[in-house]
Chain A
Amino acid sequence: MSASAIIFYIIAAFILGCGIISMTTRKIFRSAIWLLFSLIGVAALYFWLKVEFIGAVQTVIYVGGIVVLIIFSIFLTQQSGKEMPKAPLVRTIASVLTVILGFALTYAAIYFYDFKPVSQNFNWSVNGIGTQMLSTTKGGYALPFEVVSMLLLAAMVGCIVIAMKKAPADTNGKPKQDEIEKLKEEIKKPDTEITVNEISEL
């Protein structure tokens, strides 16, 4: 067994161990931190596969972006030290059985499938990725690129719309009530009656 294979098995054990702890621990903040380690392990797997670009993208977006976002939302919504309620025993047993059965079926299908690896080296470059992503010829990814940029724009606008406090109602609520009270006071003032009387006299 070569050093490369040993490194792979260490990375694999790291990913799966952190993933399992992340999905079974009952403290939500620890769950997020174990998820962070699991995602770092996946990035390490990409580096092991010598696809460094995807490893870097994984590190920047998942580890630096999504996990930080998740931790922020945990702090905004939960007491992070509190334990989550345990799942009912029936549901736990049923899901363990489902997962093990599904894993066995899927891995049996993978294990008995005869993969024929090509002995050619995988040649990629950031230059080639960029050129093909913006190319409009056959095999180019210009259209998906545009579609995904529209999706990001829509997601951004959607986030702002959803997470926006009902600002017009909340901030204008008090001044409006003040204005209403002022108007009421003005109505109660005898001056207005006088003016009304004056108008009627006129």
Chain B
Amino acid sequence: MSDVPIPHILFVSTALFFIGMFGLFTRRNMITMLMAIELILNSVNINFVVFNKYLYPNKLDGIFFTIFIITIAAAEAAVAIAIIINLYHSHHSIDVEDATEMKY
């Protein structure tokens, strides 16, 4: 058992989450927005592992949630990049402001 209190570890995950939010707000390029989403998912994973380790050490559910989130993040990244490349073929741009045909 280390002498780092739990809120200090949760500080990292919270800060990482809001760094990702900042990227999602300011960036308008689809690939960088995807990177921001990856940061957000990572912060959630840290939370799951920390809660599992320190609060419920005789269970494994946080580990399972982390594994499933990593799996779904991989699937999501693959689908998103397929969509982005397809969009680049038709629009020659991956800026979200340029892809407005399906807006209304």
Contact = CB atoms under 8 A, between A and B. Distances in A.
B4 to A, nearest CB: 5
Nearest to B29: A84
Interface string A1-22: 1101100100010011001101
A77 B25 CA distance: 22
Interface residues of B, number: 70
Contacts of A116: 55
Which of under 10, 10 to 19, 20 to 34, or 35 or more describes the interface residues of A?
Answer: 35 or more
A183 interface: no
A171 interface: no
Contact of A70 (B9, B46, B81): B81
Interface of B: 1-4, 6-12, 14-23, 25-29, 31-32, 34-36, 38-39, 42, 45-46, 49-50, 52-58, 60, 63-64, 66-68, 70-79, 81-86, 88-89, 94
Interface of A: 1-2, 4-5, 8, 12, 15-16, 19-20, 22-23, 28, 31-32, 35, 38-39, 42, 45-46, 49-51, 53-54, 57-58, 61-62, 65-66, 69-70, 72-74, 76-78, 84-85, 87, 91-92, 94-96, 98-100, 102-103, 106-107, 110-111, 115-124, 128-129, 132-133, 141, 144, 148, 151-152, 155-156, 158-159, 162-163, 165
